[in-house]
Structures are given as C-alpha cells and as structure tokens.
Amino acid sequence: MNNPTEITVEVAYALPTAQLIVPIRVQSGVTAEYAIQASGILGKFPEIDLAINKIGIFGKLTKLDTVLRHLDRVEIYRPLIADPKEVRKQRAADGKIMKKGGGDLPA
C-alpha cells in the first residue's frame, strides 16, 4: 500500500534534440528545488544552473521554494537564445509588406 505522506511528481528538462522526464516519489511538503535535486537531473545536465534557469509547474513560472502537490510536473527551462519580442520586431522591419501566412506576393 502507498504511504499517504508520499506524493509522485515529475521533473522535466528538454533540449532541442531530447527531453527527459523523471518521475519520483517524495515526501509530501517538499519544494520544487528539493524534487529537482532528488531527481538526479542536475547530474545528467551540468549546464542547468538553478540560479539562472527559470522553472515552472505545467508551464506556469514558479519559484524554487514552491511546495509541490501530488502529480505536479516541475519543468526546468533553458535560457532563450533570442528575445521573442526582438525577433518579431526584426521580422516586421525586414518584411513590412509580408502578409499573415507569408507566401508569394502578387506582382
């Protein structure tokens, strides 16, 4: 029988070519940081720095000291390579005549 003071959570990290989702059992009341440490994911991906990488639970940004609930998925996010706002601004500057959906313009 399951221990009622234990919960199951997942810790996830993704690269452009691969992703890893580690399910773990932890004591109820643990934080996201504890789950990340306990998952062993930091040993597999040494580029993760919890002082820099943002984290979330199911796509919603959260803090390392957030207490987890049963079946939460803690996601570790990689830093953005380019600021999406700047990319959109550059696209707009490069192609002001482009219409939504792209494609060829009529002559």
Count of domains for the chain: 1
- Does the pLDDT of residue 93 top 60, yes or no? yes
Residue 96 lies in a domain: no
Task: State percent of the chain over pLDDT 90.
Answer: 64
Query: How much is the pLDDT for 100?
Result: 57
For 36, the enclosing helix (H) or strand (E) is: helix 32-39
Residue 105 lies in a domain: no
Residue 49: give its domain's CATH number.
3.10.20.280
- Nearest CA to 26 out of 73, 76, 70 is that of 70
Region 15-29: mean pLDDT is 94
Residue 75 lies in a domain: yes
Write the pLDDT tens digit of every residue in 55-72: 999 999 999 999 999 999
pLDDT band at residue 1 using 50, 70 and 90 as cut-offs = very low
- Does the pLDDT of residue 2 top 70, yes or no? no
Token pair belonging to 72: 């939460």
- Does the pLDDT of residue 27 top 50, yes or no? yes
- Does the pLDDT of residue 104 top 60, yes or no? no
| Mean pLDDT for the chain overall | 86
Residue span of the structural domain in which 45 resides: 6-85
